[in-house]
């Protein structure tokens, strides 16, 4: 039995923040992938499909359920618009302890009043992709939404072609977005904004309640947490692909895995999203966009920062003014860990830049270059390098030997440089095979990415980058 401890604290907010709505009644829901380990971690012990479907409100209607869709707005590619959960239904909050409260949301769960002409559905392939990438991110120790399962709905979904539909039940500390604050500021009263701020602090950062100016403390805390998150993305070569303000969470968890992808050959301008033609969300721009988005959060919070607008703006500017410095420190700290180095100074930062410039010019693989530096077993197996790279490496080696020593540096590097990332070509093959009914490549890839930091020669083929042509032509898509 699943002990149903779903709660609905979000519904204590003023009702402009949500619409009460039930998930769609799907004709033939069927569990295709189940995250048994996560279920156990949450204390959901049943493996009875029917019980799981009932718990997720995808079987017979549950009279106690109070599911809802969240209202939010947001800047999409720089333009402000009203959005909201157009294809996601929150079935409630799973509460392990008061500190461990998670939203459970059904992505692809049917239409809501925020659907704006969309069908509220998601395709099986896109939900399998979100499952795989979010679980990879979790294994990489990067804050992320989690995926509980992929459930085929038994419905057909019309896109450019007809596809099988699916629902992804996902878990997050909270789905509150920068866009939720923009919604409150633009469509609600100052009391609504205050209520959302209080709720967010209570739920995510209770220590900030005691701050002199809690809204200011929230802004600062979210900014620092987002900086850490984006630096972590850069560490593993992750490109989110659609960093609109509605896709950035106050909990600083990575979520809304649409056109995201991992970079193979290092190039700062890498972008895979089919709609990001100007590279707004390219690999190298992620910190700038993070700052831009945090500035939108600051604007939304202005009425709570100070009663006088001019003073509020000055306070916000002061906080945003610290972004660049915090970012530079966090970024180089993170990149130096990839080189096994725990100190930080100008010369060391230059080494990072020199290495990246060389990787760009010599079209080196991002993951494998760092992996080879820290892992002689892998390096011996594969790595060919230029004279220039060898000179750089000798310098670096000498520094390591004169300071921490190679063994210690290697331990640091192995904790920070993944051996296995979900490479685009492997992901595509796994998904295409899965939707054709062959689960093996999906299961194998899932197994490999669940242990990303241990190089295992048995899985060596998963370290291979695709043919150059594959990446050149590879495109990812948003709301499929
Ligand atoms: P996303 O690109 O996933 O962040 O989605 C942007 C907005 O479009 C959100 O408000 C989504 O809920 C909405 N949306 C995306 N796909 C659909 C769909 N198939 N039906 C209804 N709304 C959708
Ligand atoms: Mg979104």
Q: What is the pLDDT along the chain (480 residues), one digit of tens a residue?
A: 566 679 999 999 999 999 999 999 999 999 999 999 999 998 888 879 999 999 999 997 777 789 999 999 999 999 999 999 999 999 999 998 777 899 999 999 999 999 999 999 999 999 999 999 999 999 999 999 999 999 999 999 999 999 999 999 999 999 999 999 999 999 999 999 999 999 999 999 999 999 999 999 999 999 999 999 999 999 999 999 999 999 999 999 999 999 999 999 999 999 999 999 899 999 999 999 999 999 999 999 999 999 999 999 999 999 999 999 999 999 999 999 999 999 999 999 999 999 999 999 999 999 999 999 999 889 876 667 899 999 999 999 999 999 999 999 999 999 999 999 999 999 999 999 999 999 999 999 999 999 999 999 999 999 999 987 888 888 888 767
Distance in Å, CA 290 to ligand 1 centroid: 21
Largest CA distance in the chain: 70
- Report strand pairing: 73-76 vs 79-82: antiparallel
Residue nearest to atom 22 of ligand 1 (CA): 86
Supply the DSSP symbol for 462.
G
Provide the β-strand partners of residue 254: 144
Segment holding 166, helix H or strand E: strand 162-172
Segment holding 314, helix H or strand E: helix 309-320
Residue nearest to atom 7 of ligand 1 (CA): 83
**CA 260/CA 242 separation, integer angstroms:** 7
pTM of the model: 0.97
**CA 75/CA 82 separation, integer angstroms:** 9
At a CB cut-off of 8 Å and minimum separation 6, what does 91 contact? 6, 23, 56, 57, 65, 67, 104, 105, 106, 169
Pocket test for ligand 1, best of 80, 85, 87 (most atoms within 8 A of CB): 87
Q: Is the distance from CB of 453 to CB of 137 less than 8 angstroms?
A: no
**CA 243/CA 210 separation, integer angstroms:** 31
**CA 105/CA 125 separation, integer angstroms:** 18
Distance in Å, CA 75 to ligand 1 centroid: 13
Dihedral angle over CA of 316, 322, 326, 328, nearest 10: 120
Residue nearest to atom 5 of ligand 1 (CA): 479
Supply the DSSP symbol for 257.
-
By the CB criterion, residues less than 5 angstroms from ion ligand 2 are 247, 256
Q: Which atom of ligand 1 is nearest to the CA of 84?
A: 10
Cα 135 vs. chain centroid, distance in angstroms?
A: 10
The pLDDT of residue 465:
93
The pLDDT of residue 3:
64
Domain spans in the chain, listed from the N-terminal domain onward = 2-172, 180-326, 339-416
Residue nearest to atom 3 of ligand 1 (CA): 479
Question: What residues act catalytically?
Answer: 246
Distance in Å, CA 246 to ligand 2 centroid: 6
Distance in Å, CA 245 to ligand 1 centroid: 13
Q: What angle do helix axes 440-449 and 124-139 make, rounded to 10 degrees?
A: 20
Tokens coding 14: 């003023």
Dihedral angle over CA of 109, 110, 112, 114, nearest 10: 80
Distance in Å, CA 65 to ligand 2 centroid: 24
Q: How far is CA 431 from CA 239, 393, 436, in A?
A: 19, 38, 9
Tokens coding 469: 């042509």
**CA 189/CA 196 separation, integer angstroms:** 11
Residue nearest to atom 15 of ligand 1 (CA): 479
- Ligand 1, CB within 6 Å, residue ranges: 83-87, 114-115, 118-121, 242, 246-247, 256, 258, 478-479
Q: Classify 315 as helix, strand or coil.
A: helix
**CA 331/CA 339 separation, integer angstroms:** 13
């Amino acid at each position: 039995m699943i002990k149903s401890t779903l709660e609905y604290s979000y519904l204590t907010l003023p009702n402009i923040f949500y619409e009460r709505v039930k998930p769609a009644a799907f004709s033939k829901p069927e569990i295709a992938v189940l995250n048994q380990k996560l279920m156990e971690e949450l204390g959901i012990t049943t493996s009875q499909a029917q019980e799981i479907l009932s718990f997720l409100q995808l079987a017979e209607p549950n009279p106690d359920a109070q599911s809802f869709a969240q209202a939010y707005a947001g800047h999409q590619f720089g333009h402000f618009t009203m959005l909201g959960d157009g294809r996601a239904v929150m079935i409630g909050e799973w509460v392990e302890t008061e500190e461990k409260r998670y939203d459970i949301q059904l992505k692809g769960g049917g239409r809501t009043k925020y659907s704006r002409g969309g069908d509220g559905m998601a395709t099986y392939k896109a939900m399998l992709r979100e499952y795989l990438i979010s679980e990879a991110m979790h294994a990489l120790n990067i804050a992320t939404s989690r995926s509980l399962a992929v459930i085929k709905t038994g419905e057909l979904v019309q896109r450019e072609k007809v596809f099988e539909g699916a629902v992804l039940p996902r878990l997050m500390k909270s789905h509150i977005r920068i866009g939720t604050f923009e919604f409150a500021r633009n469509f609600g009263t100052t009391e609504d904004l205050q209520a959302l701020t209080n709720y967010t602090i209570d739920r995510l950062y209770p220590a900030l309640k005691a701050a002199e100016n809690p809204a200011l403390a929230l802004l600062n805390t979210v900014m620092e947490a987002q900086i850490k998150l984006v630096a972590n993305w850069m560490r593993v070569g992750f490109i989110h692909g659609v960093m609109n303000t509605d896709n950035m969470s106050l909990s600083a968890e990575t979520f809304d895995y649409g056109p995201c992808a991992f970079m193979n050959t290092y190039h700062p301008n890498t972008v895979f999203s089919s709609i990001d033609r100007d590279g707004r969300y390219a690999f190298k721009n992620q910190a700038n966009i993070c700052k831009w988005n945090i500035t939108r959060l600051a604007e939304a919070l202005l009425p709570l920062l100070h009663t006088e607008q001019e003073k509020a703006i000055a306070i916000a500017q002061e906080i945003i003014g610290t972004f660049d410095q915090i970012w530079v420190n966090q970024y180089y700290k993170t990149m130096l860990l990839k080189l096994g180095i725990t100190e930080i100074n100008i010369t060391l930062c230059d080494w990072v830049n020199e290495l990246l410039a060389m990787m760009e010019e010599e079209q080196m693989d991002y993951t494998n270059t760092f992996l080879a530096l820290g892992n002689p077993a892998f390096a011996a197996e594969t790595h060919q390098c230029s004279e220039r790279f060898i000179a750089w490496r000798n310098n670096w080696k000498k520094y390591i030997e004169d300071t921490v020593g190679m063994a210690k540096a290697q331990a640091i590097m192995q904790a920070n440089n993944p051996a296995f990332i979900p490479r685009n070509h492997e992901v595509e093959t796994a998904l295409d095979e899965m939707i054709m009914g062959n689960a093996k490549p999906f299961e194998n890839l899932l197994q490999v990415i669940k242990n990303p930091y241990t190089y295992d020669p048995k899985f060596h083929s998963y370290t291979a980058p695709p043919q150059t042509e594959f990446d050149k032509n590879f495109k990812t898509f948003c709301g499929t």
